[in-house]
Structure 1
C-alpha cells in the first residue's frame, strides 16, 4: 500500500471506529440515543461543539470568557467539522467530563453536555445546542444524556443543574429530562464574571453504576455514595 493511500485508509478506519464505538473505555465515554451519538470529542469536534454555543443568543445565558468564544467569522468553518475526525483531545477543564452531541443522520456536531464541578463543589450538569437545533424539544435529550452520564457512567447518585431566571427554554428542557426544581443559592456567577439570578434543579437515583470510561475522581467521596 502506498504511504499516501495508507494515511487515508488509517484516517477513515479511525473515523469508522469512533463513529461505530458502542462501549466506554479508558479513552472516553459513549452514549447513543435515537439519532444522536454522544461521546468524548476529538479536538476538532470540541471546536465544533464550542462554536455551537458561541453565538450571542447562547452567550446571553452561558456567559463565557471572551477568549473561549469562537469568533463569528470562524464559526461556520468550525460547524462544518466532520464527526470522527481530528486528533485526540485533552479537556481544558480538569474537573469536567464533556460529551459532544452528534446528529448521525445529518453528519454534524450539534451541541455539548457535561458533568462538572458546581460552585458548591458538587456534581452539576449543563449543556447547549447549535442555533438550528434549539426550540425543537431536543434539549430534553441533551440533559437526559447528562443524567445518564452522571448516574450510569460516573456513579454519581445526585446531580444538579442551574438556569438563569428567565431562561424558560432551558428550565423546561431540564424538567422534561426529569430534573425537579429545588432550593438553591439565589445567584450564580457566570465564567465572564456576571452574577445572575438562578433557578436550580436536581435529579437523584437510589442506585448508580460506573463504566470503563474516565471517572470524575475529583468529587468528594459523599458525591459518589
Structure 2
C-alpha cells in the first residue's frame, strides 16, 4: 500500500522520523559519493581509488541540498538501487543506502553509509529503518540482509536499533579493493508489498 504518496514508476519516497528516503537522482548520487570519500568511511567501505570523490568537489557536494532530479538508477527490484536519505528539515544529505541482489541471486542485501556530519547522532538507525520499510512496502522484498565488518560496532548497533536480527551471509566478505574482512550478518523480515500495486508479492523475486 502506498502510504507516502508521490511514488511512481521507478521512483519511491518514504518519510520516516527525521529522514526522507527517495530514489537517488544524479545530484543525490554525487553527494552520496562525496559522503563516503573520507578516510573514516573508507576504512569500512574499501572502495577502489577511482570511486573516491576528490576535494574540493567533496565539500561543495555536502554543503548544499541535492535537487530531486531524474533517477540515476534502474529503480526496480532486482537491479542495483540506490536511495538518498535526506534531512527533512534542511534537505541536506544524511546518507545513502543501496538495496541489491546478493551474488547468489537468492536474497537482497542492504548497504549504506552516513555523511560525516550525520555520524554519532543516531541517524544510522533511522536511515536503516526507513530502508527496511521501503524494501518491504515499496519494492516487494520480504527478507532483507545486511552485513558489517565484525569490528564495526556502530553499524551493528544501528542495524539492531532499526529492528534487524541475526542473519547469515558470506564470511569472510571481500570489499571492492580486495580486502577480506570478518563479517557479521543481520536480517529484517516482513510482509512484502508493492506500493504501486497494493498487493503482496512472493519472495524471492525473480529479476
**What is the CA RMSD across the aligned residues, in angstroms?**
2.3
* In the alignment, structure 1 residue 223 sits paired with structure 2 residue 204: yes
Q: Is the 8 A contact 1:55 1:72 kept in 2?
A: no
Q: TM-score, normalization: structure 2?
A: 0.86
Question: How far did 1:143 drift?
Answer: 0.8
Partner of 1:155: 140
Partner of 1:218: none
- CA distance in 2 between counterparts of 1:191 and 1:29 reads 28
Question: How far did 1:82 drift?
Answer: 2.6
Q: Secondary structure at the match of 2:65?
A: coil
Question: How far did 1:92 drift?
Answer: 8.4
Q: Is the 8 A contact 2:146 2:186 kept in 1?
A: yes
Partner of 1:169: 154
- CA distance in 2 between counterparts of 1:98 and 1:22 reads 19
Greater length-normalized contact order (CA 8 Å, ≥ 6 residues apart): 2
Map 1:202-217 to 2 at 5 A. Answer: 202-205=187-190, 207-212=191-196
Partner of 1:190: 175
Q: Secondary structure at the match of 1:145?
A: helix
Q: Runs ≥4 in structure 1, deviation > 3 angstroms? A: none
- CA distance in 2 between counterparts of 1:165 and 1:119 reads 21
Q: Among residues 124, 129, 138, which one is paired with 1:139 in the alignment?
A: 124
Q: Secondary structure at the match of 1:199?
A: strand
Deviation track 1:48-77 (CA, whole Å, cap 9, x = no partner) reads 122111111001101112211111332111
Question: How far did 1:107 drift?
Answer: 2.8
Q: Secondary structure at the match of 1:90?
A: coil
Question: How far did 1:83 drift?
Answer: 3.0
- CA distance in 2 between counterparts of 1:43 and 1:197 reads 33
Q: Which has the larger helix fraction? A: 1
Question: How far did 1:27 drift?
Answer: 4.2
Q: Is the 8 A contact 1:115 1:149 kept in 2?
A: no
Partner of 2:73: 91
Partner of 2:40: 57
Between Structure 1 and Structure 2, how many residues are aligned?
A: 196
Larger Rg: 1
* In the alignment, structure 1 residue 123 sits paired with structure 2 residue 108: yes
Q: Among residues 62, 71, 74, which one is paired with 2:54 in the alignment?
A: 71
CA 1:183 to 1:72, structure 2 compared with 1: closer, same or farther past 3 Å? same
Question: How far did 1:156 drift?
Answer: 1.1
Structure 2: 5+ residue stretches without partners: none
Deviation track 1:110-169 (CA, whole Å, cap 9, x = no partner) reads 211121122332201111111111111111111111211211111111110000010000
Deviation track 1:75-105 (CA, whole Å, cap 9, x = no partner) reads 11111333325x5243389822211111121
Q: Among residues 101, 121, 125, which one is paired with 2:85 in the alignment?
A: 101
